[in-house]
Amino acid sequence: MDNINKEKLDAAFYVWENGFESVWGVEGNPFFVVRNGEMRIITNNETENRVVIRYTDQLKDFGINNDKELAEWSAKGEEVFDWVHNAWFEIFSVIDLDWSSEPFHDLQEAADYAKELFNKYPEGVVEDE
């Protein structure tokens, strides 16, 4: 699970269901990355029909296959591509089930932070600082 697609770092490319989904982890590290939140994008396709995008496969069907293409569509403005809800990443611990990190919007940053946490808290419990 440690392989990260550098062209798909946005949480929008990891939304397959509602709720949270584990998207990154390393054996032996109690900290792992989940995709959390709901995605809802209202946009128009080439025929000017309104489309509501909630899941990653719908992005692909719409022709958005990577972060660059997602940014290009987002830059067109709310009239064309309106983010109503966006997903994000968080770090969870298999040991301390009540703990989670602040949100991340880039998978690589979230994975790097999970690795930092492991180096600092190898037992999987984050101490108050």
| pLDDT tens readout for residues 39-56 | 999 998 666 678 899 999
- Domain hosting 17: range is 11-120
Would you state the pLDDT for residue 50?
85
Residue 58 phi, psi (nearest 5): -70, -35
Return d(Cα 41, Cα 53) in angstroms, integer.
5
Q: What is the pLDDT of residue 53?
A: 96
39 within a domain of the structure (yes/no): yes
Q: Where are the beta strands (DSSP E) in the chain?
A: 21-24, 31-36, 40-44, 50-53, 81-85, 88-93
DSSP secondary structure letter of residue 13: G
What three-state secondary structure class fits 9? coil
Q: In what order do the strands lie in the sheet with 21-24?
A: 21-24, 31-36, 88-93
pLDDT digits (tens, 9 = 90+) for 72-96: 999 998 888 999 999 999 999 999 9
Domain-embedded: residue 127: no
Residue with the two structure tokens 């990260």: 4
Asked, for residue 47, whether it belongs to a domain, the answer is yes
Q: What is the mean pLDDT of residues 50-66?
A: 94
Query: Whole-structure pTM over 0.75, yes or no?
Result: yes
Q: Is residue 113 part of a domain?
A: yes
Strand-strand pairing, 40-44 and 88-93 = unpaired
Please indicate, yes or no, if residue 1 is contained in any of the structural domains. Answer: no
**3, part of any domain:** no
Q: Which of 70, 97, 99, 62 is nearest to 86 (CA)?
A: 70
